[in-house]
Structure 1
Amino acid sequence: MGAIIGLRRWRHNPLRRTTDLVEAWLALAALLLVLVAAPLVGAAVGASVQGTLQRAVRDQRKDRHQVAAVVVRKLSRGPLAPDPETPSGRDTRSRVLADWTAPDGSPQRGTVVAALKSPRPGDHFSIWTDRHGRIVGRPLDGTTATAHAVLAGFGAAVLSAGLIEGGRRWILWHMIRRRYARWDRAWAKAGPDWGKADTGS
């Protein structure tokens, strides 16, 4: 907004100072950078993050496998907090002792968190493991990766615009300080009697 206000100083005005013209150029440069450079920075950051996350998606799909597990028994602890990755966020999860077969064929048994409200022995549920049967998190999906990349690009564009406007204000602040210092020197030269009658001025 300050950049647009600064553009008004372009008008022809006999009282316009050189610093007013510099402020106008500064405002125009900041406005152009906000409109052109900030979106380019956002697009570049978004594309870079998208590439990195999509590589992570491919790697995780290769290394993580969904396998069926069977409840051996429910453990004494009560239900756990809702899983934030489920669509509703309301699915109760319970800690159970379970058996499963790893992708390499080895039998596994361990404590896992099952997306079951009231798990009973013999209930089946899905878990994610690596190729050796160790429990791992659910792999990142492509849609979530794209959403994260878009948010990163948007954040980078907004941050760039903020830095440009902050830089413009910082330069303007220094210019105003110099202007005030010149005014102080001019007033000091004029002396305390400036404008009084019969002072020879």
Structure 2
Amino acid sequence: MVTSSGPDDVIGAKVGDARDMRRLLRRLGWHRNPLRRGTDRFEGWLNFVLIMLLLAGGTGLSVAVAGSTYRSQARQVAWERAHRHQVWAMLMEKPAGPTASARWTGPDQVARTGRIPAGPGDTAGTWLQVWVDDRGGLTGPPSRRRPAADAFQAAVASVLALAAALLAVGMAGRRLLDRRRLRAWQSEWMEVGPRWSRYR
């Protein structure tokens, strides 16, 4: 069944949006109210400054962190690709376990021997590929780094950390302002309360 929204539905949605906006402005301390105190206005400015810091600082911080992370990771990837080489190694014996003795020639054209991973079906004379460094020593394959993805994750983490820090500052500021407001209310009640109460 297809339903269409009439003028009343549209007006109701707009009224609901306006109420939500007023509620948000009240929560942030940006509403117009003749009963607002100095602490309320200060809280409104504090919220404004914290939001601006999050928007401006978060943007700058995320760009800086993402750029730095990307450059660092890209350099590491380029270094590993330039200094890790895949060569062929010949098994010199049948594997008695997960490794076997093998012989290979490194990038410096020097022959080397060592134990390399081998399967149970391999035999002496089998050729296997291994990763070596510039001096021909056994090493692992280049890491599967993703500079762009790592940069994005670092940027998101930095913005979340900034948001958490600013939220903590905002909560601490509100706690101090609430204490000040409570003291002011208590002081005013001590002056006005006896006039309205039978206890004098």
TM-based fold match above 0.5: yes
The answer for the alignment partner of 1:89 in structure 2 is none
Counterpart check, 1:19 vs 2:23:
no
Match of 1:34 among 24, 41, 54: 54
Asked if the contact 1:7/1:28 (under 8 Å) is kept, the reply is no
**Using a 3 Å threshold, how does the CA distance of structure 1 residues 6 and 132 change in structure 2: closer, same or farther?**
farther
1:10 is paired with a residue of what secondary structure?
Answer: coil
* Larger relative contact order (CA 8 Å, sep ≥ 6): 1
Asked if the contact 2:89/2:103 (under 8 Å) is kept, the reply is yes
**Using a 3 Å threshold, how does the CA distance of structure 1 residues 14 and 50 change in structure 2: closer, same or farther?**
same
The answer for the alignment partner of 1:113 in structure 2 is 117
Q: Taking every aligned residue pair, what percent have the same amino acid on both sides?
A: 26
The code of the aligned residue for 1:47 comes to G
What is the distance in 2 between the residues matched to 1:63 and 1:36? 41
Map 1:76-87 onto structure 2 (within 5 A): 76=97
CA drift at 1:194: 6.2
Map 1:184-199 onto structure 2 (within 5 A): 184-187=186-189, 189-190=190-191, 195-197=196-198, 199=200
In structure 1, the gaps of 5 or more residues are 77-93
CA drift at 1:47: 0.3
The answer for the alignment partner of 1:173 in structure 2 is 175
CA drift at 1:129: 1.0
The answer for the alignment partner of 1:82 in structure 2 is none
In structure 2, the gaps of 5 or more residues are 1-23
Higher alpha-carbon Rg: 2
**Using a 3 Å threshold, how does the CA distance of structure 1 residues 171 and 107 change in structure 2: closer, same or farther?**
same
The answer for the alignment partner of 2:72 in structure 1 is 52
Asked if the contact 2:108/2:134 (under 8 Å) is kept, the reply is yes
What is the distance in 1 between the residues matched to 2:103 and 2:44? 72
What is the distance in 2 between the residues matched to 1:8 and 1:58? 49
**Using a 3 Å threshold, how does the CA distance of structure 1 residues 23 and 103 change in structure 2: closer, same or farther?**
same
Instruction: Determine which structure has the larger helix proportion and give its number.
Output: 2
Instruction: Give CA-to-partner distance per residue, 1:145-167, whole Å, 9 cap, x none.
Output: 33222211221122112212222
CA RMSD of aligned residues (A): 2.8
CA drift at 1:169: 1.4
CA drift at 1:193: 5.5
Counterpart check, 1:127 vs 2:147:
no
Asked if the contact 1:6/1:24 (under 8 Å) is kept, the reply is no
Counterpart check, 1:101 vs 2:97:
no
**Using a 3 Å threshold, how does the CA distance of structure 1 residues 193 and 117 change in structure 2: closer, same or farther?**
farther
Instruction: Give CA-to-partner distance per residue, 1:79-133, whole Å, 9 cap, x none.
Output: xxxxxxxxxxxxxxx433322111111111212235x574333333322111221
1:109 is paired with a residue of what secondary structure?
Answer: strand
Map 1:134-173 onto structure 2 (within 5 A): 134-140=137-143, 144-173=146-175
The code of the aligned residue for 1:39 comes to T
What is the distance in 1 between the residues matched to 2:159 and 2:25? 22
CA drift at 1:190: 4.1
What is the distance in 2 between the residues matched to 1:117 and 1:5? 71
Runs of 4+ in structure 1 off by over 6 angstroms are none
The code of the aligned residue for 1:104 comes to D
